[in-house]
Structures are given as structure tokens and as C-alpha cells.
Amino acid sequence: MPQHGFVRVAAANPLLRLADVTANLRRTIAMLDLAESRGVGVLVFPEMGLTGYTCNDLFFQKTLQDGAVEGLLHLANATAQQFGGLALVGLPLVVDEQHFNCAAVLGGGEILGIIPKTYLPNYKEFYDARFFATAATVISRTVRLGGKDVPFGTDLLFPCTNVENLTVGVEICEDLWVPVPPSSLQCFHGATVLANLSASNETIGKAGYRRQLVGNQSARCIAGYVYASSGVGESTQDLVFGGHCLIAENGSLLSESQRFQRDDVLIASDIDLDRLRVNRLLTTSFSDAVLEPGLKREFRRIPFTIAERRSGSRLLREIEAHPFVPAGQEQLRERCDEIFHTQVAGLARRLEHIGKPPIAIGVSGGLDSTLALLVLCKTLDSLGVGRDRIQALTMPGFGTTGRTRGNAIALMNALGVTFREIDIRPMCFAEMNALGHSPFGINLQGMSLDALVERLKTLPAEHRSDLTFENIQARARTTLLMNTAFVIGTGDLSELALGWCTYNADHMSMYNPNVSIPKTLVKFLVRWAAENEFEGKPRATLLDIVDTEISPELLPSSADGKAQSTESTIGPYELHDFFLFHFLRYGCPPSKILFLAEQAKFDHEYDRGTIKKWLGMFLRRFFNSQFKRSCLPDGPKVGSVSLSPRGDWRMPSDAQAALWLQELEEAG
């Protein structure tokens, strides 16, 4: 059975012999065996796969017509023993004295339904209307095959009885190339996996267009799309066929065959039915389309069952370990350029609106403030405003290291902004005294700041916990910034998800360009900027910032000089960003997120126990921190995941995580 909402689909292209049904049947059955061994649940063959598409006037020969039907019956019997899924095969079929180009749907030893081709190409090299009738001329709703009445028509859908959310819709070749393909109507009525039996010949540039067509239709239909086209055995006289097979899901190409192969071909991948379901629920305009006149249809539903499958350890699709960070150098370059332009455009509009005032930003020498400062500089450049309008403050505290302080100063110098260094320790020391707070149990009465600093150096590891001590520093920095100028925030999406920010401190600003950018993407963007926008000393500084361990630097360093580590406390950001993406973007339950994380290849290896530990941490912190997200400052939405309470995410601050944690625990 499919795991966690996945169903395995395949497109097959057996090496064909024109008009030789016996040979084609033999190779088709062999492909059934191969698909069964790979755990395939839905298998699609090319158009006219039992006879060949280019038989032309031979289609009028009763010998070929009868041979195709006999081959179909043999193939249906084979699905009873050799293939436990749904198989779709093409053949010519005479019904009511009309000749149709058909797709037969087979499963469990039965012919479940026959779908005739709706649109017949009759231009240039195509002459379908010479040989076949269009589906519009269908008279009977059933056809007699093997002594049984089989549903016949374009109004057939095939829901699976034991795989939730799996319903198969079928169209044939040219059906996809028209303005409103049959699959567009099928998806409105529940089809989640669309199959196309095709015989698309090759011409220059056609493969690319075909690829776009399949991908775009899967996106418009929010569906999986399995496309199987005829191969080189079909090539004859004036035409060449390449056997182009494609599998797409909601606009993403999951698998593609190499064309012009001179042997049997089978490609397989796993369609995420849960993801499709969530996308359809979120896209409210999807179901609105059925209100359009002429789009509402009545479909007959023919149920089928997929046999039990062995539980495989690996999916036949790549699970991105870093879903927010694009793969491929050209895509990376384009994505970075787009992100920067989005951030700059949003911030520029805000600054224009309020009269381009002086701007304050805190620069710590860490990733987030570095990215925000780079965006701010580019924004002022685009507005024709001098960078000296930027009031950049670096504000070392009790946990600041020489490395981050040095990088902050070097960066501000390199970028030509106006900057100041303000030691916040005297302010914090005075506030702790005023509050009567004893940091780490140290009585401050009669103690000097210098004495406290020396005492903190000897603090035992087990006593290095004091939230008030940390929050006082964070709020001192925000107070200085707020009293300087219009404040640009620096916190990122990952910190908001985890609540890893101090309320009304780094949590607050007057505009935050980083608000919808996760930590893994922030790190990548800073590296990209270093490698593409700067050279010399600024580049070295940026790369050193990227390589610095992530830390709030609010607690004093340990006796061995080791700084406070964020990821040691709350877990690796690459895991949390993975959890965030699948939890928020697709509404995945914890058990599925755990399963997907085990499939992904992270920078570091994590065992199941470790992933489960940090996933539990993510869920608890996410639910407990909604109150911080309910009052966020403005900032641009950059990607598909955002936590803005005005845009993408509305959640009660007192919602409980119990159900999600229970589901995670039951995952084992």
C-alpha cells in the first residue's frame, strides 16, 4: 500500500511492432511484471499500444480489430495474477458501427472501463478523423467485451477503494493539446491522478513544449499527471516517435524518460495525494470553476482496488532536505535576484511613503542582521539616498564575542554606513540592580559591573540559564534602536516559528524585510551576496559570518571560550526549516513529516530518534509562540510560506499541540 499518502505511478513504453498484437501483448505483459516488482499502483501505456498508432488503413481490417480485442482480454486476465494495480492500455475498438481510438482501464482481471478519444487531430501529419470517430458521436454507454458489459464513454472516473484521495481520470494524446482538455473537467470532479495515452511524434522543439504542457496541466488541475507516448517502434515512413514519458505533480516534473531508446522503457515516481488534497482545499478558486456554465458534468465512478504492496524504504522521488533553498546554480542565481528585488521593493515603498527618514538597524555580526543591512543598502541605492542615512548600531553585551563584534564593524565600514558602537552592559547592569534581579543567583548588591563580568567567566555550565538576564539585553538594544530612528527589523521566519525571539525586543521593529525568509535561506543569501556582489575584504567578512556558529550571544561564553549555541538548545535549523515547510505549506501530520525527513539527505545525518526529538521541540514551540506572531510588524511575503497574521497564517494563540504530539508519539 502507498505510504503516508503516496501512490506509485509509472509510464511504460514497450518496444512496439506495428500491427503485431501478439508481440505487443507479450511485451506489455512483461512490463506488468516489471511494474509489479517496483510496487506500481497505476501504470499507463501509450496510445494504441496493442496495435500501434500508425497502422493507418489497416485499422479498417477486421483481423486487426479482432486481434486487438483478443489481446485486450488476455491482458485483462494478466492483471488478475501478475499486476495488482490499475493498468491503462490503448487499442482501436468498433462500437455501434463506429471506430474509436480508445483507452482501456484494467484491474483485478477485469476491463473496468473504455474511454474513447475526444479530440481527433486532422491537420499536417495527422489524419485521425480518417480512421476514427470522435467521442461526441458515442451512442452506447456500454460495450460488450468478453461476455460482459463494460462502461464506455468519456464520463468515467476510477476511484480507488483502499487508497484515500486516489481517483484516476483518463484522456488520450490530442485531448491534452486543446484549450479545455477533458482532464480539466475530470479534476473538478475529484480526479487526482490524470493519465494520458499518447502517440506524439518528434519534431524540433516539441519535447520542450510537451514537457511544459504536461507540467502546466498538472499545475492547473492540482493533480498528478502520467504521460506515456509511443516509441521508436512506431516510427515509419514520414514520422519519428521518441517514446517521451513524463510524470508531473502540481507543476513539478518528477520523472522523465530519455527519448529514442530502442528497448522497453518504464519510469516510475510517487505522487503525494495528501499534498494535492491540501493544495485543492487551500485554493478556493479551484472548486469555484465548476460554477462556470458548461463545466459541470455527471461522471460514472468505477471503483478499483490496489493490491497490498510491500513497504519500501525509499520513495521514487527526491525529498528536498532544504525546501526553501533551490537547487542548481542558474536557479539559485535567479532565486536570489528575485528575493533581493522583492525585499528591496517592499522596503523602498515603505521608506518612500514616510519621507525617506533616517533609518536605524542593529548589526550583530550574525546572519540575519547582515542580510537586512545588505537589503537596506540596496534599497537606499535604488532610491538615490546616501548610505550615510543608515544609523547602524552594534551593541555588544555580556555574550558578544570578538569574532562577531569584529565582523560587524568590518561590514559596516565596508558598506559605508554611519555606525556607532554602544556597550549595553552598563545599562543592563543598572536595570538588573533597579529590578533587584540576581543573575544566575549572583547578588549584585555592592558589586561593580567589572566584578560581575569577571564572575560570569567562572560560571559553572549547569548554572548558565537566566531568561531575565537575556531579555534585559535584548530589550536594551531595541530601546536604543527605537530612540535612534525608523527601525529595520532583522529577525527571520524560522525564529518566528520557534518563538526564538524576545517579545518586544528583536521581535519588534517598524518594518522587517527578513520576516518571511527562513534561516537556511538567510544563510544561503548571505553566501550568495559574498560570492556574487562583493570581493576583497567585504567578501571575506561575509563568508566568515556565514561560517560563524548561530548564537544570540546573550549568555557569557563558557570557561573554555565557547559561545552560546542556538542549535544546541533548540535543534538544527535545517531540520526546523524542513518541519516548518511541510507543516505549514502542506499541512502534513507529524508522522508524515518524520517519514519525509528520513527520506531527505541533510547536510548532517540524523537518526529517527534525533529527528523525532527535534520535531517534538518544533511542535511545542510553534504552538506556544503564536502570541508573538499575532502582533508582527509589516514585512514582505517572499515565498509560499509566511506567518503574517494579516496574510497567510491565522491561529489562536491558545491552541494546544496535544493532538499533534500524540500523533508523533504514535508514529513509533
* Residue that has been written with the C-alpha cell 573554555 in this structure: 560
117 included as an active-site residue: yes
298 included as an active-site residue: no
575: left (phi over 0), alpha (psi -120 to 50) or beta: alpha
613 included as an active-site residue: no
Q: Which of the residues 55, 160, 173, 377 is marked catalytic?
A: 173
- End-to-end Cα spacing for the chain: 19
Q: Which of the residues 47, 202, 256, 470 is marked catalytic?
A: 47
Confirm if 278 and 24 have CB atoms less than 8 A apart. no
Q: Which of the residues 36, 102, 117, 519 is marked catalytic?
A: 117
Q: Locate the DSSP E strands across 108-178.
A: 110-116, 142-145, 148-151, 156-159, 167-172
Confirm if 499 and 625 have CB atoms less than 8 A apart. yes
State the Cα–Cα distance between residues 504 and 518, nearest whole angstrom.
Answer: 20
State the Cα–Cα distance between residues 239 and 8, nearest whole angstrom.
Answer: 32
User: Which helix (H) or strand (E) covers residue 429, if one does?
Assistant: helix 425-435
Q: Find all residues with CB under 8 Å of 80, minimum gap 6, and list them.
A: 108, 109
Q: Is the dihedral of CA 81, 87, 91, 94 positive or negative?
A: positive
State the Cα–Cα distance between residues 44 and 49, nearest whole angstrom.
Answer: 10
* Residue that has been written with the C-alpha cell 467521442 in this structure: 135
H helix runs in 501-634, sequence order: 519-532, 537-547, 566-570, 573-580, 590-599, 608-624, 626-629
Q: Find all residues with CB under 8 Å of 221, minimum gap 6, and list them.
A: 183, 184, 186, 187, 191, 194
Q: Is the dihedral of CA 121, 122, 128, 134 positive or negative?
A: positive
Q: CB 600: neighbour CB atoms within 10 A?
A: 17
Q: Residue 359 is placed in which grid cell?
A: 533609518
Q: What angle do CA 342, 344, 347 make, to 5 degrees?
A: 105
If we measure between CA atoms, which residue out of 331, 228, 315, 328 comes closest to residue 275?
315
* β-strand pairing of 359-362 with 390-394: parallel
Residues annotated as catalytic (active site), given as ranges? 47, 117, 173
